[in-house]
Structure 1
Amino acid sequence: MKWFLPAWGLWWREMVRFVRQRSRLTGALLQPLVFWGLLGGGLNASFRPAGAGSGLSYMTYFYPGTIVLVLLFTAIFATISTVEDRKSGFLQAVFVAPVSRPAVVLGQALGSTTLATAQAGLMLVFAPFVAVPLSAGMLPVTLLVLVLLALALSSLGLTIAWRMDSTQGFHAVMNLLLLPLWFLSGAFFPLAGAPWPIRWLMEANPLMYGVAALRYSLYWSGDLPVADLPPFRLALAVTVLFCAGAFFLAVKSAERRLQ
């Protein structure tokens, strides 16, 4: 109960805030769709990912990356409220109460995770239109991967938000950190064929394993059209560690800020 009530209260507060600010849905969902339509459509006829099957279009290759981009943008939009809540004194008042600090951070993270997973889940309706053989049996695994990635990205957002004093600084640092993570995740271009410095950075990027796990879950009932991916168990294990590590950093960032 000591953990549940603070976490549930902050989670519910984020849900209410989202209902009152529905423009966040437009920004978090439509911007990746524009990326997918313009970049995927523009490169579809002239670019085939290295190590991919001969029948794989760039629109299909880019599809899992677009889903992760929805998670990323939602994490940015959701965790920016932490900067505003700190400036207004709301979070300081919460931490004065006898509540567990990890529970408060968990409530914040679960709020943005719920929104990110729901919005990314809406992207799954496009799977049949780009020849992605998503099966009902693997849907729980796909949702699990989405939840883990959403929680990891939300926790990273909270880690940065607790250190920032302005929304402008938060946006600058988030774009500097998270967009390169996404570009080097195998979402935009594959590991196969990349120059060795880029390949090394991609292999060191935990988000790359999350994107790989998502590709496995989407193509479980068919032939995986992308080569040079890490094994599924390794990809899922690294994603779990990424999620746990990011949440730990978020808790430490909040505690350090309040000392």
Structure 2
Amino acid sequence: MIEAHLAKVYAIWLREFKVFLREKSRLVASTFTPILWLFVIGSGIGSAAGFDAGNVDYQTFIFPGIIAMSIIFTSVFYGSYIIWDRKFDFLKSVMVAPVSRGTVFVGKTLGGMTTSLAQAMILLAIGAAIGIPFTAVSVAQAVAVILLMSFGLTSLGLALGSYMYSLEGFQMMVSFVVFPLFFLSGALFPLDNLPSWLGALTTVDPATYGVSSLRGMMLGIGSADPLIDFGILVAYTAALGTFGILSFRRMKAV
């Protein structure tokens, strides 16, 4: 029974992975923006304004946030594939197959995670090239955070996609999601000494705990204990995954 369930998840993931391999330009385009932010914003703002975050420069400080940026945008926008599948009737054929909607959801979510992980690994390689002090342990910890973040945010994107029937509507809705997730996560600035209203907003942003975990594990300068951040991220991931499954169960294929 478990083997049959895993085989169905694998089949759906494999389809998503093959789509990803056929769209190499998407990987290049979606990786270019984080790299641009890292070098242009990181170097430009870092040289124009005084910045003090321990013993790291601004470009190094925002590096974990740029990885989070890549995950946020890629994972949430992955929900648009639900709309494409609906338009080309692939979704209908999957929904009438003897496969539970939870299985379909998990398979698609793993496909989104694969895309996010591929982009994050490119950024990690760039980080090593510019002098981010990685160790084998910190890389393994970072990959665990990346997988958690991408699962939770891909779940969110798929859930949003399940409610939408046009790409235009989806893109408009997602714009109200991804930008607050990114800008309130502390990816670009320290979370210490923020105004109370802004600090309150950052605490309800799941990406905040991903950025803080990555920064603590890579640079040792997180705003809290990385293990606490990691635990909160696990809870957010479970909640978003549950939301995604429930959304899939009520979704119409047409």
The bucket for the TM-score relative to the shorter chain is over 0.9
Verify: 1:27 aligned to 2:62, yes or no: no
Distance (Å, rounded) in 2 between the aligned partners of 1:99 and 1:9: 11
Task: State the TM-score, normalized to the length of structure 1.
Answer: 0.91
Corresponding position of 1:44: 46
Moved more, 68-77 or 118-127: 68-77
Distance (Å, rounded) in 1 between the aligned partners of 2:56 and 2:30: 27
Distance (Å, rounded) in 2 between the aligned partners of 1:117 and 1:210: 14
Distance (Å, rounded) in 1 between the aligned partners of 2:86 and 2:50: 46
Structure 1 runs (4+) greater than 2 angstroms displaced: 46-50, 76-79, 126-132
Do 1:2 and 1:100's aligned partners in 2 also have CA atoms closer than 8 Å? no
Instruction: Kindly report the root-mean-square deviation, in angstroms, between the aligned alpha carbons of the 2 structures.
Output: 1.7
Distance (Å, rounded) in 2 between the aligned partners of 1:249 and 1:158: 10
Distance (Å, rounded) in 2 between the aligned partners of 1:65 and 1:137: 19
Please, which of 19, 25, 29 is the counterpart of residue 17 of structure 1? 19
Structure 1's 242 and 48: CA in aligned 2 closer, same or farther, altered over 3 A?
farther
Verify: 1:161 aligned to 2:161, yes or no: yes
Corresponding position of 2:95: 95
Corresponding position of 2:183: 183
**How far is 1:77 from its partner?**
4.6
**How far is 1:130 from its partner?**
4.3
1:56-75 aligned at under 5 Å gives the runs: 56-75=56-75
Do 2:216 and 2:225's aligned partners in 1 also have CA atoms closer than 8 Å? no
Secondary structure of the 1:134 match is coil
**How far is 1:235 from its partner?**
0.4
Paired amino acid for 1:140? A
Matched residue pairs, number? 251
**How far is 1:230 from its partner?**
2.2
Distance (Å, rounded) in 2 between the aligned partners of 1:63 and 1:8: 33
Do 2:215 and 2:221's aligned partners in 1 also have CA atoms closer than 8 Å? no
Distance (Å, rounded) in 1 between the aligned partners of 2:218 and 2:180: 24
Deviations 1:146-199 (A, max 9, x none): 110111111111011111111111111112112111111110111112211101
Deviations 1:109-144 (A, max 9, x none): 000101101210111122345442110123221111
Do 1:210 and 1:239's aligned partners in 2 also have CA atoms closer than 8 Å? yes
Corresponding position of 1:3: 5
Paired amino acid for 1:230? A
1:59-208 aligned at under 5 Å gives the runs: 59-208=59-208
Please, which of 245, 248, 258 is the counterpart of residue 239 of structure 2? 245
**Gapped runs of 5+ residues in structure 1?**
none
**How far is 1:108 from its partner?**
0.3
Identical counterparts, % of pairs: 31
Moved more, 78-87 or 142-151: 78-87
Do 2:213 and 2:229's aligned partners in 1 also have CA atoms closer than 8 Å? yes
Paired amino acid for 2:185? S
Distance (Å, rounded) in 2 between the aligned partners of 1:177 and 1:44: 27
Do 1:3 and 1:100's aligned partners in 2 also have CA atoms closer than 8 Å? no
Please, which of 215, 227, 230 is the counterpart of residue 236 of structure 1? 230
Secondary structure of the 1:143 match is helix
Corresponding position of 1:257: 251
Do 1:49 and 1:190's aligned partners in 2 also have CA atoms closer than 8 Å? no
Deviations 1:182-234 (A, max 9, x none): 11111011111221110111112121011111112213xxxx245xx122221
Corresponding position of 1:212: 212
Paired amino acid for 1:23? S
Distance (Å, rounded) in 2 between the aligned partners of 1:130 and 1:176: 33
Structure 1's 251 and 78: CA in aligned 2 closer, same or farther, altered over 3 A?
same
Secondary structure of the 1:258 match is coil
